[in-house]
Amino acid sequence: AKPWTVPELRQAKRDGNKLVMLTCYDAGFARTMDAAGVDLVLVGDSLGMVVQGHDSTLPVSVDDIAYHTACVARGLSRALLIADLPFAADADPARALEASVALLRAGAGMVKLEGAGHKLEVIRYLVEREIPVCAHLGLTPQSVLRLGGYKVQGRDEAAAARLREDARAVEAAGASLLVLECVPTPVATAISGELEIPTVGIGAGPGCDGQVLVLHDMLGLNSGHRRPRFVKDFLAEGGSVAGACAAFADAVREGRFPDADHSYA
Ligand code: KIV
Ligand code: NA
């Protein structure tokens, strides 16, 4: 199959084809998930937790993400590679541009950043300079100090309305994709219906246009933290790493994952 391009993402949504996304940090896993038909591969700043062993994503640097992005890029031939802008690298447009250029040079085809508000200006600035952007709303792990923990977002009516407004705003600012993390199913479903860009959910229910999981979580590795409700061990079902990736991809495309047990009503 030929490599994914950014304009094809919206077309996939129009065609009703669910997008399959996993996080990845090295070439070996990249090669395996690419061959298993994973569409989008994310070098997430979750690497601070699952690879480096920190208890948040805050210590991750641009150099860390760039190193892992270069490793992953060598393993991909078809999937679109997205790299996270780590904490504070997107604090202002000029810094975000410099960090994004480093990640694109390392092999990324898109960068991801958390939040709306003053980040809308950053999104516009990058997109105007030809850098595709994936937005990330709901539970934004870089906000852990303000939030006081990792909790479901958009639970009450006012918070849900703000989230819907932020989602429309990141699309208007030029984002090509939107990750929704830990959002009640009805809210994520409504947002997905309102936007033309695809939404990719993690703990956001089956109404999103795609799904993402952290690699270590879907392989059943114990993170040392309480396992969130939305995590499923696909290694148990798939029998091998390649089998786990294929089982995840099939379950997402057939609308079997996430089910109600792995979502927030
Ligand atoms: O860093 C990461 O792994 C992420 C995903 C959970 C979406 O941002
Ligand atoms: Na992230």
pTM of the model: 0.98
ipTM reported for the complex, 2 dp: 0.99
| 44/141 Cα distance (integer angstroms) | 11
Mean pLDDT, the chain, rounded, equals 97
Q: Give tens-digit pLDDT for 29-41.
A: 999 999 999 999 9
Confidence of residue 115 (pLDDT cuts 50, 70, 90): very high
HSE-up (13 A, CA, CB side) for residue 221: 13
Q: Is the CB of 231 under 6 A from ligand 1?
A: no
Do 234 and 219 touch, CB atoms closer than 8 A? yes
Nearest-ligand number for the alpha carbon of 44? 1
Which CATH class, in words, describes the domain spanning 7-262? alpha beta
What b/e sequence results for 58-78 when a residue is b if at least 16 CB atoms lie within 10 Å of its CB, and e otherwise?
A: eebebebbbebbbbbbebbee
Q: Give tens-digit pLDDT for 149-176.
A: 999 999 999 999 999 999 999 999 999 9
Do 135 and 109 touch, CB atoms closer than 8 A? no
DSSP 3: P
Percent of the chain at pLDDT above 90?
A: 97
Give the pLDDT of residue 174: 99
Q: Is the CB of 202 under 6 A from ligand 1?
A: yes
HSE-up (13 A, CA, CB side) for residue 47: 25
Confidence of residue 87 (pLDDT cuts 50, 70, 90): very high
Phi-psi region of 222 (alpha: psi -120 to 50; beta: other; left: phi over 0): beta
Contacting residues for 144 by C-beta, under 8 A, at least 6 apart? 56, 57, 58, 150
Give the pLDDT of residue 179: 99
> What would the mean pLDDT of 186-194 be, rounded to a whole number?
98
Nearest-ligand number for the alpha carbon of 202? 1
Q: Is the CB of 245 under 6 A from ligand 1?
A: no
Confidence of residue 224 (pLDDT cuts 50, 70, 90): confident
The structure tokens 């992953």 sit at 72
Q: Is the pLDDT of residue 55 over 80?
A: yes
CB atoms within 10 A of CB 196: 8
Q: Is the CB of 179 under 6 A from ligand 1?
A: yes
Catalytic residue among 121, 181, 237, 254: 181
Mutate to test the pocket of ligand 1, among 90, 134, 212, 218 (most ligand atoms within 8 A of CB): 212
Do 56 and 48 touch, CB atoms closer than 8 A? yes
Contacting residues for 217 by C-beta, under 8 A, at least 6 apart? 223, 227, 228, 231
In this structure, the residue with its CA closest to atom 6 of ligand 1 is 214
- List the chain domain ranges: 7-262
Rounded to the nearest whole angstrom, what is the distance from the C-alpha of residue 90 to the centroid of ligand 2? 13
Which is the closest atom of ligand 1 to the Cα of 44? 1
For the question of residue 128 being annotated catalytic, the response is no
In this structure, the residue with its CA closest to atom 2 of ligand 1 is 44
Contacting residues for 120 by C-beta, under 8 A, at least 6 apart? 169, 170, 173
- Both ends of the chain: CA-CA distance in Å? 37
Q: Is the CB of 217 under 6 A from ligand 1?
A: no
